[in-house]
Amino acid sequence: MHSSLLIWFTHIYTEERQVRMADLVILFLTLFPGLCIADLSGNLALGAAAVQSSTYDYLGAAQNGIDGNRQSNYFLGSCTHTAGGSNPWWRVDLKKAHKITRVRITNRGDCCAERLIGAQIRIGNSLAYNGNSNQLVRIIGYIQPGGTQTFDFTPVKGRYVNIFLPGLNKYLTLCEVEVFAD
C-alpha cells in the first residue's frame, strides 16, 4: 500500500514537472520567436550533407552547421568543431550547382569568436583539395560572439560551399551556415 502510494505521488510529481517544463518552453518561444532559428525559407543548406576535415568531439559534428539552428553555445550541440591542426575546412554539398548569391554565417558565442578570422568562403564544383581550391568568394573578418553575418556577392555557380581556414594550429567552428541562390 505504502509503496503504491509512493509510486502514485512520484508519478504525479514527475508529470507536473514535465508540464511545467513544457509551459516554460512555450513561454520562451513566445517571448523570443526565431531567437535561434536559422532562415528556413530558401536556405539551400538545410537538409544537405556536410563534412569537415576532422571532428573535435561528439558535440562538434559537421552536420551541426546546417541543422537550422543558430544556437551559438557550443555545449548545446548545434555548432561544428574541427580538431586542432593545419588548414581545417568544412564543406556542404548542395547536390547540384546553384547560382549562389548569399552565405550567412553564425559564429560561436560562448568563447573563441576570433578563431574564425581569416576563414575563406569558397564555392564551386570541384572536389580537388577537398573543394578548397574552388573560387574564393569572401574572406571572413571578425564576427562578434554568437553573431550572424550575411555575405552578399555577385552570383557564383557551384555545388559545394567550403569554409576554409588556412594556417597552423587552427580550430574551425561554425554554428550555422545558410546558403541562398538567385
Q: Give the binding site for Ca ion (CB under 5 A).
A: 64, 67, 69, 78, 176
Amino acid code (one letter) for 24: L
CB of 109 to Ca ion, least distance (A): 11
Q: Which is closer to Ca ion, CB of 64 or CB of 162?
A: 64
Residue 170 DSSP label = B
Q: Which is closer to Ca ion, CB of 88 or CB of 124?
A: 88
Q: Which is closer to Ca ion, CB of 124 or CB of 180?
A: 180
Q: What is the maximum alpha-carbon separation in the chain?
A: 74
CB of 79 to Ca ion, least distance (A): 6
Q: Which is closer to Ca ion, CB of 39 or CB of 176?
A: 176
End-to-end CA distance of the chain: 69
CB of 17 to Ca ion, least distance (A): 28
CB of 176 to Ca ion, least distance (A): 4
φ/ψ region of 145 (left if φ > 0, alpha if ψ in -120 to 50, else beta) reads: beta
What's the grid cell of residue 76?
Answer: 548545446
Q: Which is closer to Ca ion, CB of 39 or CB of 67?
A: 67
* Chain position whose Cβ is nearest to Ca ion: 78
Q: Which helix (DSSP H) or strand (DSSP E) does residue 153 occupy? A: strand 148-164
CB of 44 to Ca ion, least distance (A): 15
Assign 69 to helix, strand or coil. Answer: strand
Bridge partner list, 120: 139, 164
Rounded-to-integer distance, Cα 114 and Cα 150, Å? 17
